């Protein structure tokens, strides 16, 4: 399939999606959304792919929703078609997605990075929710996912002032999992994704589901959910293989079964 706003390729068992609207700093318009959902669906269906990396350019991961597309819309337009509602589907993919962020991740760009399972940032990364400076507020999850990621104090600061956070502050705040030199960014993300893809698929999918449940439910229900998933993995061949390989001091050969 060919894409207008993305470059989509397989790197071994890793699906690599590169946002590609350089003239607009990868601003997210309706074509990007449509194509991102297509690319996700293709990788989700492809048994050879075990994890995905989503990245942008050196200058910008994405500088937000496309302001030129939004500027003429009125309330009836955006409400009637639940404008930006489709982005929720991007976060529904079951395979792990790592965001590799260099440069600007602003507004919808920051929100898209936060829809991924974790963020690896270049030292040049800048995160922000500047919607307030445009007379609106975050509309793709910024007020919710940022608050869960960094807590109320920093989320309020970012959402109310629109200021940017650099990579070091984002790492201190818990928004990103690792910060690396700019020339290491893509390799670091691809290596992490390749490692995930080499592990037993059912356990990887359940691990993602279990961590995400922590944000949705009580501790008691979350612990029960985790335990049931953990127990269910004893029905897989890969549990026997993983534990037998450890005892036999060899690498496991997982079959994703
Ligand atoms: C459309 C954008 C854009 C955007 C940049 N461009 N961001 N186009 N939507 N979000 C375009 C510029 O218009 C310009 O095109 C080109 O990309 C290069 O940008 P410059 O501004 O010339 O670059 P620079 O001076 O380096 O500044 C970089 C920047 C700035 C700080 C990132 O572009 C910026 O502030 N962008 C907007 C950031 C923002 O407010 N994002 C939130 C969007 S709202 P031309 O053709 O003019 O040269 C959002 C809402 C989500 O995401 C949901 C709530 C509604």
Q: Is the C-beta atom of 24 inside 6 A of ligand 1?
A: yes
Tell me if residue 221 is catalytic: no
pLDDT score, position 1: 82
Q: What is the mean pLDDT of each run of 10 residues along the chain (257 residues)?
A: 96 98 96 98 98 98 95 96 94 98 98 98 98 98 98 98 98 98 98 98 98 97 98 98 98 96
Residue ID of nearest Cα to ligand 1 atom 7: 63
Atom of ligand 1 minimally distant from the CA of 129: 42
Tell me if residue 131 is catalytic: yes
pLDDT score, position 21: 97
pLDDT score, position 77: 94
ipTM over 0.90? The verdict is yes
Give the torsion sign (CA, 54, 57, 59, 63).
negative
CATH 1.10.12.10 fits 200-248, yes or no: yes
For residue 14, report the distance from its CA to the centre of ligand 1, in Å.
Answer: 30
SS (HEC) of 103-150: CEEECHHHHHHHHCCEEEEECCCEEECHHHHHCCCCCCCHHHHHHHHH
Give the torsion sign (CA, 96, 197, 46, 189).
positive
Tell me if residue 153 is catalytic: no
C-alpha atoms less than 13 angstroms from C-alpha of 245 in its C-beta half-sphere: 11
Q: List Cβ neighbours of 69 (8 Å cut-off, separation of 6 or more).
A: 29, 30
Cα(211)–Cα(116) distance, integer angstroms = 13
Cα(122)–Cα(99) distance, integer angstroms = 11
pLDDT score, position 93: 97
Question: What are the sequence ranges of the domains in the chain?
Answer: 6-197, 200-248
Q: List Cβ neighbours of 195 (8 Å cut-off, separation of 6 or more).
A: none
> Are 247 and 241 within 8 A, CB to CB?
no
CB burial of 196-208 (b: ≥16 within 10 Å; e: otherwise) equals: bbebbbbbbbbbb
For residue 66, report the distance from its CA to the centre of ligand 1, in Å.
Answer: 8
pLDDT score, position 14: 98
6-197: CATH class: alpha beta
Cα(51)–Cα(197) distance, integer angstroms = 5
Cα(124)–Cα(59) distance, integer angstroms = 8
Give the torsion sign (CA, 105, 109, 110, 112).
negative
């Amino acid at each position: 399939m060919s894409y207008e706003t993305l470059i989509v390729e397989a790197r071994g068992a890793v699906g690599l999606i590169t946002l590609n609207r350089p003239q607009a700093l990868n601003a997210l318009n309706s074509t990007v959304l449509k194509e991102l959902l297509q690319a996700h669906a293709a990788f989700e269906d492809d048994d050879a792919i075990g994890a995905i990396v989503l990245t942008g350019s050196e200058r910008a991961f994405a500088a937000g929703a496309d302001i030129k597309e939004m500027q003429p819309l009125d309330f009836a337009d955006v409400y009637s078609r639940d404008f930006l509602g489709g982005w929720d589907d991007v976060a529904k993919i079951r395979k792990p997605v790592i965001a590799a962020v260099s440069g600007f991740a602003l507004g919808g760009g920051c929100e898209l990075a936060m829809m991924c399972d974790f963020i690896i940032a270049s030292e040049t990364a800048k995160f922000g929710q500047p919607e307030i400076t445009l007379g609106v507020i975050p509309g793709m999850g910024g007020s919710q996912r940022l608050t869960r990621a960094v807590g109320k104090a920093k989320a309020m600061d970012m959402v109310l002032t629109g200021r940017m956070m650099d990579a070091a502050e984002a790492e201190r705040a818990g928004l990103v999992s690792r910060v690396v030199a700019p020339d290491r960014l893509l390799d670091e993300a691809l290596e992490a994704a390749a490692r995930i893809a080499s592990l037993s698929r059912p356990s990887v999918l359940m691990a993602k589901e279990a961590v995400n449940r922590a944000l949705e439910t009580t501790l008691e229900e979350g612990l029960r959910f985790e335990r049931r998933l953990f127990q269910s993995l004893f029905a897989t061949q890969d549990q026997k293989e993983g534990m037998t390989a450890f005892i036999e001091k060899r690498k496991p050969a997982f079959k994703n079964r």
